[in-house]
Structures are given as C-alpha cells and as structure tokens.
C-alpha cells in the first residue's frame, strides 16, 4: 500500500511538471522562427496551435451526421451505436453475427445500416466498409471497436492460438482504419476512433499477442494523428484506451474479490461517447486509468512483475 501511494504521488508530481511542456516547446519554436534567442521565451503569451485551427473546418450541418461502428454486435460497440443514434447520427453497424446486429437495429428508432463483416478477411471487409459508406451517402465518424481476443488461446504453444488477434486487431484494424482514412482524406475531414487497451502499455504476461496488438493500435492511431496535425488537415483521430470493462455483463464482481476497477458497460460507454464528442486524442476509460497508464509505462521491470503476478494484478 505504501509503495502504491508513493507511486501515485510520483506520478501526480510528474504530471504537474509536464503539463505545460507542449506550450513551452511551441513558444520556443515560435520565438526561434521569429529570430529570438531562448532567453526571451518566458514572457511569450499562449500561442494558437494548428490543432486549434483544424477545428474550424466547416462541416455541412444540413445533412445528418453519419457514423459506422465496426464490432457493433455486442459490448461497447453496440452500446456506442445506440448513443450515437440518440445523438442524431445515421449509424452503420458491422460484425460477424448479423442476427445480433438486426436485434440492435430494432432498438434504434432512427435510420441504421447493418452488414455482416469478418475483419480477419481484410479484402472482403474493406469492400463491405466502402459499400456501406456509399450506401450511407458518406461518412463523418468511423469507430473500430472489434477484437479477436475471445477467439484466441493465449496459453497455446502453437503460434496459431493467438492468430485471431493478429488477424483482427492488427491486420483487420489497419486495413479498415486506412480505408476509412482514405475516404476522409478525399473528403477533406472526418474522425477515426479506434480501441486500444491498457494492456497495450506494458507487455501482459497472460496474453502477449493481445498486448502487442493493442500497442500496435495505439501507436498506429498516434502516428496518423500526428500526420494530420503536422499537415494541418481537419481529420481527427481518437485512441480509446479502456481498462477493465464489464462489456458483456459477464463479470460478477461479487464473486471476484480481487477484481479491481471493473467499469459497468453503461459508465464506460458514456465516457467513450464524451471523448468522441470532444475529439480527444487519447481517452482512458474510465479517466482514473490515466494514472495507471503513467505508472505502467514508467515502473521498473522488477516492481511491475512483482505487482502484476499478485492476485488481482495481471495488467
């Protein structure tokens, strides 16, 4: 407990010290480009960044907003589809289980589109995505909420036991994200939202390939985001990084005394929706996981393994 409190104090201090770093860096860059020396940076007022300007891109408010959620048959993708519809979006939903998509469609009173899609077959999947974008008359928001996690056997020594996350969370994710971004680039604006995980921050012993696949999702989304910021293009990218979410209501927390911070589907999805509306760059779900994320990325290996191997550890 003492170590945990100490670590949280360290993280809080680190955060306080680094909050203004980007502004200082921008001020320095601004001053250098204006021919000033580094000594003069202290009195420079806050400067408007290109990112702020990107928000000013005009969007046609006459048309209904259109969103596609990939991985919408259950869990956070399904719940998010309902929230987006309630917010006025025409929503397209895809997954392998068409029957579940049809059920969700019945629960949404506004215009919806559904299509069966298997992201482990990327050529077919991007064809289905492009057709859906066409059928919907365009796209404003693409959410990729799928995972092959539950189709894997991470204990298998045979490498194929982990193949579903490599196929779905890496290749499928990339193919679908890139296809969506191609559309946004041609259109000149758009918003890509992808799901990573706290498990992607540090190598998780119990599910190495999943952990690595989620690290891929985060780094890829971050790279695309940086590209659009540097080129001043109003395409937004959000990395949704959940902790532990009871996304199928299958976790009975009362039966799991070691379970920590298991979020309800409802609370998690509301925060995700809020992050999408804010066009956040990265959103830890729920917010308190942000501190754990900082700890995970800075903790020494021996301390990490001592904590992670304990009952209730594992992240």
Ligand X SMILES: NC(=O)c1ccc[n+]([C@@H]2O[C@H](COP(=O)([O-])OP(=O)(O)OC[C@H]3O[C@@H](n4cnc5c(N)ncnc54)[C@H](OP(=O)(O)O)[C@@H]3O)[C@@H](O)[C@H]2O)c1
The span from the CA of 201 to the CA of 219, in Å, is 10
Of 140 and 239, nearer to ligand X (C-beta) is 239
DSSP 93-151: EEES-HHHHHHHHHH--S-EEEEE--TTSHHHHHHHHHHHHHHTT--SEEEE----GGG
Contact predicate 143/70, CB 8 Å: yes
Residue 141 C-beta: closest distance to ligand X, Å: 16
Residue 307 C-beta: closest distance to ligand X, Å: 19
Residue 267 C-beta: closest distance to ligand X, Å: 12
The span from the CA of 180 to the CA of 132, in Å, is 11
| Cross-strand bridge partners of residue 285 | 242
Residue 136 C-beta: closest distance to ligand X, Å: 18
Q: Which residues bind ligand X (CB under 6 A)?
A: 71-77, 95-97, 100, 117-120, 145-150, 168, 195, 197, 242, 244-245, 247-248
Instruction: Classify residue 20 by burial, with Cβ atoms within 10 Å: 0-12, 13-18, 19+.
Output: exposed
Of 122 and 190, nearer to ligand X (C-beta) is 122
Q: With DSSP H G I counted as helix, E B as strand and the rest as coil, what are the percentages for the chain, rounded to 5?
A: 55, 15, 30
Q: Which residue is nearest to ligand X (CB)?
A: 75
Residue 148 C-beta: closest distance to ligand X, Å: 5
Of 92 and 234, nearer to ligand X (C-beta) is 92
Residue 242 C-beta: closest distance to ligand X, Å: 4
Of 286 and 294, nearer to ligand X (C-beta) is 286
- Determine the angle formed by the axes of helices 173-187 and 122-135, rounding to 10 degrees: 30
Residue 22 C-beta: closest distance to ligand X, Å: 27
Of 190 and 200, nearer to ligand X (C-beta) is 200
Of 180 and 242, nearer to ligand X (C-beta) is 242
Alpha helices (runs of H) in 19-109, residue ranges in sequence order: 21-33, 50-54, 75-86, 98-107
The span from the CA of 279 to the CA of 272, in Å, is 10
The span from the CA of 201 to the CA of 60, in Å, is 38
Of 73 and 308, nearer to ligand X (C-beta) is 73
The span from the CA of 260 to the CA of 262, in Å, is 6
């Amino acid at each position: 407990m003492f170590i945990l409190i100490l670590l949280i104090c360290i993280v809080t201090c680190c955060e306080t010290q680094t909050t203004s770093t980007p502004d200082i860096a921008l001020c320095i860059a601004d001053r250098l480009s204006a021919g000033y020396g580094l000594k003069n940076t202290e009195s420079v007022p806050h400067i408007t960044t290109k990112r702020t300007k990107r928000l000013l891109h005009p969007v046609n408010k006459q048309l209904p907003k259109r969103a596609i959620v990939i991985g919408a048959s259950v869990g956070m993708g399904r719940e998010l589809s309902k929230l987006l519809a309630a917010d006025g979006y025409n929503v397209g939903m895809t997954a392998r289980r068409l029957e579940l998509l049809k059920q969700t469609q019945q629960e949404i009173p506004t215009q919806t589109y559904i299509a069966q899609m298997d992201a482990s077959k990327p050529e077919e999947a991007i064809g289905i995505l492009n057709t859906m974008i066409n059928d919907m008359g365009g796209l404003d928001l693409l959410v990729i909420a799928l995972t092959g996690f539950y189709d894997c056997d991470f204990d298998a020594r045979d490498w194929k036991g982990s193949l579903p996350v490599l196929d779905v969370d890496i290749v499928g994710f990339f193919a679908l994200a890139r296809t969506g971004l191609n559309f946004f680039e041609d259109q000149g604006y758009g918003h890509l939202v992808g799901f990573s995980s706290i498990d992607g921050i540090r190598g998780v012993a119990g599910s190495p390939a999943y952990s690595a696949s989620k690290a891929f999702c985060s780094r890829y989304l971050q790279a695309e985001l940086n590209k659009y910021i540097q080129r001043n293009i109003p395409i937004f990218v959000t990395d949704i990084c959940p902790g532990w979410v009871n996304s199928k209501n299958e976790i009975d927390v009362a039966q799991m005394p070691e379970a920590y911070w298991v979020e309800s589907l409802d609370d998690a999805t509301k925060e995700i929706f809020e992050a999408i509306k804010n066009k956040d760059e990265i959103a830890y779900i729920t917010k308190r996981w942000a501190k754990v994320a900082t700890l995970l990325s800075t903790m020494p290996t021996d301390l990490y393994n001592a904590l992670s191997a304990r009952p209730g550890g594992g992240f």
